[in-house]
Structure 1
């Protein structure tokens, strides 16, 4: 899959995550987890689409963490899309240079 395809996939996923977040109270953990995940996916997508080095180092996925796992059980389709996108992104991420 090409960089642009993965980037566009990520933008669509970020929008879907944000739309899902709006279903929950703004102060809830579920809302926060989904918004945080959406922001991370959007940042990675922007790198892919602009041709920048893929070095996005926000903490690991909140949705895939212990904190987000109960929510992942509620939204398995989004959960699987996040896992796929992050795996595809990792394929373009450059190894650390030690700088």
Structure 2
């Protein structure tokens, strides 16, 4: 055994008796995950700040809102507004067009 090996063993035994924190190198995936978490936290923080700012401006304009009044307004507005739906259209194939197999199929709109 060389002096270097003895120092290494001595260092290892000391490390076992003392609490030490081992440095771990982060992988690129771990780094990317941390970056993504940080971005999500920043986005969430900005949403909260924007919401608080909107509430503050609302209070400045209209005063302190009453919770029941706010609920009633939201219910009334949702009941008054009709939902926007796409118009459903069905197509019927006439017998005349079915008999003409060699010509392109013409669809007629029925309501």
**TM-score computed with the length of structure 1 as normaliser:** 0.30
- Going by fraction, where is strand more abundant, 1 or 2? 2
Larger Rg: 2
**Greater RCO between the two (CA within 8 Å, min separation 6)?**
1
